[in-house]
Structure 1
Amino acid sequence: MTDIRITKATPSTDFDAVSRVYYETWLSAYRHLLPTGVLKQLSPDSWHPERRWQHTFLAMNGTAEIVGVCSYGPARMADYAGWGELYSLYVLPHFQRQHIGSQLIDQALKRLSQTYANNYVRVLNNNLAAQKFYLQCGFKKTETVLEDATRFGTIRELMMIREG
């Protein structure tokens, strides 16, 4: 198992490296879950993690390479005003299944619990592996499925909640 350190992002974080984690993880994790056109239009420049550095934890390996990222904060959906939200959780493919995601989410949930009693995460409706992971983290599935019509097809996300 790799030696991993979880740390808070700072203004001097290498956000290009964070964007690459997002990009590489999306290409790997979602290649069979999202329409191909969605993935083909992406590049590392598609993300701007520097915008929420105050609400981001990083997983760093022994050589200080950023191998995972988790961002969180206040709910972005009006129906969940007063809740916390997990915005993203990504671990580079070759570092997955080493409990890095669990370490990142633990830190984010600790931080969220300081302000919010309830939290949610949006998960691709067809991403059963992610749903299983979030169930293990104390989230529950809801009946709410959000739909986003894109020019490449409809993307469906399941709302999962973690109360109290």
Structure 2
Amino acid sequence: MADAAVRTATPDDVPEIARIHRDTWRTAYRDLLPEEVLADLDPAAGWAEAVAAGQVLVATEGRWLVGYCSVGAAPADEVALANGSLPADAATTALVSVLVEPRWGRRGHGGRLLAEASGRLRDAGATRAIAWVPEADKSSTAFYRKAEWEPDGTVRTLDAGGRPLREIRVSGGLTPPSPG
């Protein structure tokens, strides 16, 4: 494998981050989301803002940008318990999202992104993180489980262009998993 690395995203990365987001969702979620939702997906503006705020890491292999991880404090509505109350660690819980373009998958990029994000979040005072994953996305669920993140029993249903999309919340600590 060529040199693989993780670094903070720059404004020059935004078009490629948006392309990876759009193309990967159009492939991975074509059976979960209506065609018109995927066709209209244009995430560039949102990524520019997140990159400018320093909330995006990118994975590279050689000269290619192959994936990204967005990180930040978890909004109260994202970390709330099923009954709407906030857990004791709500103020130190982060929200994470990892996506690696499928053609670059299974090469360790997702794990490197999550490890770097975890270290940075821990250094900033976070104690754990959460991520939302479509319930039917077994690949992403398996990725988080391998990192010792587990579904915490919280689910939500989003309106995806008139089609319900059920997501599960996974939660994990910010310490690196034990080797082996």
Deviates more, 1:98-107 or 1:23-32: 23-32
Find the counterpart in structure 2 of residue 84 from structure 1: 94
Aligned pair count reads 160
Find the counterpart in structure 1 of residue 138 from structure 2: 128
Does the CA-based 8 Å contact 1:38-1:152 persist in structure 2?
A: no
1:154: Cα distance to partner? 0.6
TM-aligned CA distance change 1:44 to 1:120, over 3 Å: closer
Find the counterpart in structure 1 of residue 3 from structure 2: 3
User: Does the alignment pair 1:23 with 2:22?
Assistant: yes
Residue identity opposite 1:119 in structure 2: A
- Aligned partners of 2:173 and 2:7: how far apart in 1? 26
1:20-44 Cα shifts (integer Å, max 9, x gaps): 1111111122122333332122235
List runs of 5+ in structure 2 lacking aligned partners: 81-85, 175-180
Show structure 1 runs of 4+ deviating over 6 A.
Answer: none
Find the counterpart in structure 2 of residue 69 from structure 1: 68
- Aligned partners of 1:150 and 1:70: how far apart in 2? 22
Find the counterpart in structure 1 of residue 106 from structure 2: 97
1:163: Cα distance to partner? 4.1
What SS does structure 1 have at the residue aligned with 2:37?
A: helix
Deviates more, 1:48-57 or 1:76-85: 76-85
1:107: Cα distance to partner? 0.5
- Aligned partners of 1:26 and 1:109: how far apart in 2? 24
List runs of 5+ in structure 1 lacking aligned partners: none
1:101: Cα distance to partner? 0.8
What SS does structure 2 have at the residue aligned with 1:104?
A: helix
**Alignment counterpart, residue 52 of structure 1, candidates 38, 44, 50:** 50
User: Does the alignment pair 1:137 with 2:147?
Assistant: yes
**RMSD after superposition:** 1.9
TM-aligned CA distance change 1:99 to 1:157, over 3 Å: same
> TM-score if structure 1 supplies the norm length?
0.87
What SS does structure 1 have at the residue aligned with 2:140?
A: helix
- Aligned partners of 2:95 and 2:43: how far apart in 1? 23
1:20-71 Cα shifts (integer Å, max 9, x gaps): 11111111221223333321222354x52121220111112212x3111111
> TM-score if structure 2 supplies the norm length?
0.80
Residue identity opposite 1:138 in structure 2: E
- Aligned partners of 1:24 and 1:132: how far apart in 2? 21
